[in-house]
Homo-oligomer: A and B are copies of this chain.
Amino acid sequence: MVGGGQGAFIGEVHRMAARLDGHIELVCGAFSSKPERSKASGEALYLSPNRVYGTYEEMLKTEATLPEGERMDFVAIVTPNHLHFAPAKMALEHGFHVVCDKPVTFSTEQALELQQLVNKTGLLFALTHNYTGYPMVKEAKAMIAAGELGKLRRAIVEYPQGWLSTRLESSGQKQADWRTDPKRSGKAGGMGDIGTHAENLLEYISGLKITKLCADLNTFVEGRQLDDDGAVLLELESGAKATLLATQIAAGEENTLSIRIYGEKAGLEWRQMEPNTLIVKYLDRGATIKRTGVGELSEAAQFATRLPAGHPEGFIEAFANIYKNFALSLLAIKKGKQPNALMSDYPTIADGVRGMRFIDKVIESAESNNKWTDF
């Protein structure tokens, strides 16, 4: 693992997700740019001291020299955005598979370079757009793919949060600090941090790519350097329309990602804060409440479910579905097999490239007087 030292949020999420199913064991890490902190973090994680490294370079080089079966199988990169590219590139070059947090890189160029490297090496690359790991998100995707909604017309994807309603970054809060800093976060703030989740969720579920967009980007908190609010009109392939909202100044909202999609025959509604419920609405009869574990669901939804109905599965379980599928794919490859479709269902470098381009295009549109910007 690269990053995720004590006090970090997403590093421990990755570790919990990786542990959950028992396929993955944390064996080494470079948890912090400060060797002291890396060491302390490793100790708290019950790691052998000689597998706790001061830098990712040291880790990758050393691990690469260890015999197979002993050396790590893949690296998880959980650093701030500007520190994804270098370790990801070096890991691929040293033959390690990669799990990387999102957005995949600092710039689209870096993302494209990683994509080339992934294609060239044939190594696995998972991007933790974790919200696509929920069973009911997979059910939604499966229903649309099966034509149950008919041709899609209108989608609404929203990601309101309220935690950046004040200038939290000036209080020293670590998460706010780097996420609002263009040197570490990239050229987008909220649009990069949560807007890309919304974009990824929309394209994943709908099965349609964005073709053009019209963005309005705002910074409401005085002194903040990056966008903390934005609304986007979208056109998707096949003519469907969508709105996307990504805001971090929606006072009082927690992590209220949701999506609604309407086709000619039916509509769907899913809300991340009650993730085990998927509501299906029909033209001429009462809605159906689909629930994780209840009745006949798609193979993909079932494969992503660990518990019987009514035993709520949450954020970590969804996150763990990415790790589980990545691990099963890796195990298959180790046994010389081709990963099957179910295990291959996790976001990859292609999603990463798509997300970076989304950031580019939203910013281009926000700065333009033209209504539409081609994607």
Contact = CB atoms under 8 A, between A and B. Distances in A.
Interface stretch (A18-26, A28-36, A333-341): A18-26
A369 B372 CA distance: 8
Contacts of A289: 279, 286-289
Contact of A283 (B9, B166, B241): B166
Contact of A262 (B21, B252, B314, B371): B252
* Number of identical monomers bound together in the oligomeric complex: 4
A306 interface: yes
Interface stretch (A61-69, A149-157, A347-355): A149-157
A312 B314 contact: yes
A224 to B, nearest CB: 12
Most buried by B among A21, A156, A262, A273: A262
Contacts of A251: 149-150, 153, 262-267, 281-283
- Chain A interface size range: 35 or more
A293 interface: yes
Interface of A: 9, 12-13, 15-16, 19-23, 26, 45-46, 149-150, 153-154, 156, 158, 160-163, 165-166, 214, 216, 218, 220, 229, 231, 233, 241, 243, 245, 247, 249-256, 260, 262-267, 272-276, 279-291, 293-296, 306-317, 368-372
